[in-house]
Amino acid sequence: MRINILVAEIGSTTTVVNGFHEVDSPCPKFIGQGQAPTSVLEGDVNIGLKGAIDDLKKNLNVEDLEYDELIATSSAAGGLRMTVHGLVYDMTVRAAKEAALGAGANIKYITSGKLRKSDLKKIKEINPNIILIAGGVDYGERDTALYNSELIAELDLDVPVIYAGNIENHEEIKEAFEDTKSELYIVDNVYPKIDDLNIEPTRKVIQDVFEKHIIHAPGMERIRDMVTGPIMPTPGAVMNASKLLYEDIGDLLTLDVGGATTDVHSVTEGSDEIARILISPEPVAKRTVEGDLGVYVNMKNIVEMVGREELAENLNISLEELEELIESHKPIPETDLQRNFVEELTLHAVVTAVKRHAGVFRHLYGPGGKKTVAEGKDLTRVKYILGTGGALTRLPNRMDMMKQIALSNKGMELLPNKDAKLLIDNNYIMASLGVLAKRHPQAALSILKDSLEIK
């Protein structure tokens, strides 16, 4: 059997492959899915990749499977690890952080102002895939970004550096990194003017640099032996698919509940009324990642947040039975009780993650009396809420969990309302379609709408 494109999602624990065919026709098709344990620890992810392809062949009931192109997303080997360094936290640092998160990064360290010796030591310990330096509006403050760049250049790390700060510094930045191991990329300022975010150019370069350098990550050295096309960070691919769908159906929110984290992606400009009282700008496409809200690796964090007594009561079991459930917790639930437990964890992860992602109204009191302002991301115009990831594509009560987002609003939060339509990525292929969209956007959009059952 021959198909056009195979997309591999190389995760920390599992590698999934999805097959797509007739991608240049009016009726592109999703052929099937296979999976196998990721083999980063064996030093060669191709072992897991071949295992997933064998599983796909078994599922398709074919002996041979040929493909024109193999493309990939990856969160293995720690995904895309970045450090971000800017001037003022609420301005250039936040803009740089938004760019990095939107590209699918796992941000390990953030600094504002001039770097200290302890900061440089931390950067060396983290050994990031990419270092992002920002700072100063265009033709504004220059010294901090220059100072930080010179210190990072002196570290002489074999790590790509992206400079996205004051454009007046470009020549000095080039000189600083001229004879270093660091490959330098200079892009447009992420914060060119006060209250003006310009994060898309930086996002694009982050993903390009990731694709070029991911093969240097542990266990990933031989990935290029099999992958013939683009490689994207998995969260960045989910964001790419979300943005593609936004262009077609409008304002949306994508939820990805995983074993270790819960990612929230929103693509919406918000309402004009709230924009007028917003105290600082927000990007149209925003991603937040909650590292404490995973339903397997970080399950105990959620248990502590909810409380054991409340969990036991909701599950109608004793505290002793709950402890047994926690200790025997598996990545994929096997019994009804285990499934109910994961649903409780997922419900809390969904509602908590969206509340952290969303903005709020705040009342300020001054000489003129009370004034209401808005802070953070406005989700009130979101028309669609999408569920992807293992939990929200496989658990039976996933729709009821997503309904709780609007119902949980106490009146001061900028959350979606009850009219937002709920959609599920039934084939669990959103990340794969995000990378497919780089070369075949129409096919990716058509197959995604099929998976979400959008007529």
Instruction: Give residue 42's pLDDT.
Output: 67
Give me the mean pLDDT over the 141-145 stretch.
Answer: 96
For 289-317, what is the mean pLDDT? Answer: 92
Residue 2 phi/psi, 5-degree rounding, is: -125, 135
Percent of the chain at pLDDT above 90? Answer: 78
Residue spans of alpha helices (H) in 214-335: 234-249, 272-277, 299-306, 308-315, 319-327
> Cβ distance 291 to 302 under 8 Å?
no
| DSSP state letters, 40-68 | GGGT-HHHHHHHHHHHHHHHHT-S--EEE
Residue type present at position 180? T
pLDDT tens digits, 58-67: 999 999 999 9
- Say how far apart CA 256 and CA 246 lie, in whole Å: 17
The pLDDT tens digits of the residues spanning 396-416 come to 999 999 999 999 998 899 999
The mean per-residue pLDDT over the stretch 184-211 comes to 93
Q: What is the mean pLDDT of the chain?
A: 92
Q: Other C-beta atoms within 10 Å of 454: how many?
A: 14
Q: What is the pLDDT of residue 78?
A: 66
Confidence of residue 217 (pLDDT cuts 50, 70, 90): low
Residue with tokens 């975010």: 197
Query: Is the confidence at residue 40, as pLDDT, over 90?
Result: no
What backbone phi and psi angles, to 5 degrees, belong to 187? -130, 175
The percentage of the chain sitting over the pLDDT mark of 70, rounded to a whole number, equals 97
Residue 53 pLDDT > 90: yes
pLDDT at residue 106 tops 90:
no
**Could you tell me which residue, 57 or 369, shows the higher pLDDT?**
57
Structural domains for the chain = 2-77+218-229 (3.30.420.40), 80-212 (3.40.50.2300), 242-451 (3.30.420)
Q: Work out the end-to-end distance of the chain between its first and last CA atoms, rounded to an integer number of angstroms.
A: 30
Mean pLDDT of 212-234: 77
User: What's the DSSP call for residue 388?
Assistant: E
Neighbours of 276 (CB within 10 A): 9
State yes or no: pLDDT of 118 exceeds 70.
Answer: yes
Radius of gyration of the chain (CA): 23
pLDDT band at 215, cuts 50/70/90?
Answer: low
- Eight-class DSSP state of 128: -
Q: Summarize pLDDT for 363-401 with one digit per residue, the tens.
A: 988 888 889 999 999 999 999 999 998 899 999 999 999
The model's confidence at residue 77, banded by pLDDT at 50, 70 and 90, is low
Flag whether pLDDT at 43 surpasses 80.
no
Q: What is the pLDDT of residues 235-290, one digit of tens each?
A: 999 999 999 999 999 999 999 998 888 999 999 999 999 999 999 999 999 999 99
H/E element, 398: helix 398-407
Do residues 5 and 71 make contact, with C-beta atoms less than 8 angstroms apart? yes
Q: How far apart are CA 81 and CA 220, in angstroms?
A: 14
Cβ atoms of 230 and 211 within 8 Å: the answer is yes
Model-level pTM?
Answer: 0.90
Q: How far apart are CA 225 and CA 49, in angstroms?
A: 11
